[in-house]
Amino acid sequence: MRNVVIIGSGCAGLTAAIYAARARLEPLVVRGHEAGGQLSLTTLVENYPGFPDGVQGPELIERMQKQAAAFGAEFREGDVTRVDLSRRPFTLEIGKEHVETRTLIIASGASAKMLGLESERRLLGHGVSTCATCDGYFFRGREVAVVGGGDTAAEEALFLTRYATVVYLIHRRDQLRASKIMADRLMHNEKIKPIWNTVVTDVLDVARNEVTAAKLRNVRTGEESVLPIAGLFIGIGHQPNTDLFRGQLEMNEVGYLKTHDGTRTSVAGVFAAGDVQDHIYRQAITAAGSGCMAAMDAEKFLEAEQG
Ligand code: NDP
C-alpha cells in the first residue's frame, strides 16, 4: 500500500515527488510514455527563475528527477493503464503491476493537438512532426512549414530557422496569438514567411511516405494552392491527458481536470497538478508550483485521515 502515487514525470510530477519524498511519504512516480513531459521536448528555457543564462529543458528535468530520487522517490517506467477511484484505497494498473494507494497526484500533462487530417496522421514521423526540437535537424537545407499562431508555433518556427532555408508560418487568422516578444522575433527573422488566413487541407504525399507539399486554402478568398515543403510542423496547442479519468473525475468541456481549494479534484484524496488542470498559464514554473501544492495537499489529507 502506497501513501502517494504520482502519475507523470514532467515538472509538476517531479516537484510533487520532491515535496512528497521530503515529507517521508515515499512516493511512487509513474513516468509515462512521454517521460519528462513537455520540457524534455524543448531547448533553451529562458524564463525559469534562478537561471539567468537559461537552462536546457531536458537538463532542468534531469536535475528535478535527481533531486526527487535523492530524497527517496521511487520511479516506475511505463503508463498507468487503468484506475479505479470509486473507493479507497485507489487501485491502479501499471502494465501488469497492480498498485494500491491512499492518495493520488495526477500530473499527466497535455499532448500536442493535431489538425485531424488522415494524411497528417499517416505521415506523422515521415515529415509531419509536433516537435521541432526533436525533428528539426532532419530538415537541414530544406523548406518547411509550421501551422499555428501561438507561442508554440512561434517557438517551433524560430527553432527551425537553424536548419531550414525557409520556414512558412501558416496561420488561420491574420493576427498572431503569440506573446509580443515572440511575435517580434518572428517578424524580424527573414527566414520566416507568414501565410495569413490560411488552413492546411491536406498533406502530400502519402503514397511516397514522405512530405512533399501541403494543400492550402485561404479562408477569406477560398483560393486553393499547393505549397512545396519537406516538413510540416503542427504547433496548434495541446490537449490534456485525461482519458483514463473520464467518468471518474470532473473535467471541463475540453477535458482539463477541475480542481478546487488548491489542487483537490472531485474525488477526495485525488489531486491534480500542472497542465492536466491548467489551460491558462501552462508554464514550467506554474506547473512546478502546483506540483508542490499537490504534495502538500496530499500530506495534509493523509494527516487528517490518520486523525
Ligand atoms: P495557443 O492556444 O496559445 O495557440 C494555438 C494556436 O494554434 C492559435 O494561434 C490557434 O489559432 C491555432 N490553432 C488552434 N487549432 C487550430 C486548428 N485546428 N487549425 C489551425 N490552427 C489552429 O497554444 P500554444 O501551445 O501556442 O500556447 C499555449 C500556452 O503556452 C500559451 O499561454 C503560451 O503563451 C504558452 N507557451 C509559452 C512559451 C514560451 O513562453 N516560450 C512556449 C510555448 C507556449 P487562433 O489564434 O486563431 O485561435
Residue 98: what residue type?
H
pLDDT higher than threshold 80 for residue 43: no
- State the Cα–Cα distance between residues 158 and 137, nearest whole angstrom: 13
pLDDT of residue 262: 97
232, 128 contact by CB (below 8 A)? yes
Q: Sketch the domain layout of the chain as residue ranges.
A: 2-111+238-306, 114-234
pLDDT of residue 178: 95
The answer to pTM > 0.85 is no
| Residues 6+ away with beta carbon under 8 Å from 296 | 19, 23, 262
Q: Is the CB of 185 under 6 A from ligand 1?
A: no
Q: Is the CB of 177 under 6 A from ligand 1?
A: yes
Backbone torsion region of residue 116, taken as left when φ is above 0, otherwise alpha when ψ lies between -120 and 50, otherwise beta: left
Residue 157 Cα to ligand 1 middle (Å) = 13
Encode pLDDT of 165-196 as tens digits.
Answer: 999 999 999 999 999 999 999 999 999 999 99
Annotated catalytic sites, by residue?
131, 134-135
Encode pLDDT of 211-234 as tens digits.
Answer: 999 999 999 999 999 999 999 999
Residue 113 Cα to ligand 1 middle (Å) = 10
For the structural domain made of 114-234, what CATH number should be given? 3.50.50.60
Assign 135 a pLDDT band (cuts: 50, 70, 90).
confident
How much is the average pLDDT of 51-69?
96
Average pLDDT score, the chain: 95
Does 114-234 match 2-111+238-306 at the fold level?
yes
Ligand 1 atom 19 nearest Cα? 115
Encode pLDDT of 6-16 as tens digits.
Answer: 999 999 999 99
Encode pLDDT of 266-286 as tens digits.
Answer: 999 999 999 999 988 888 999
| Domain at 2-111+238-306, CATH from 3.40.50.150, 3.40.50.300, 3.40.50.2300, 3.50.50.60 | 3.50.50.60
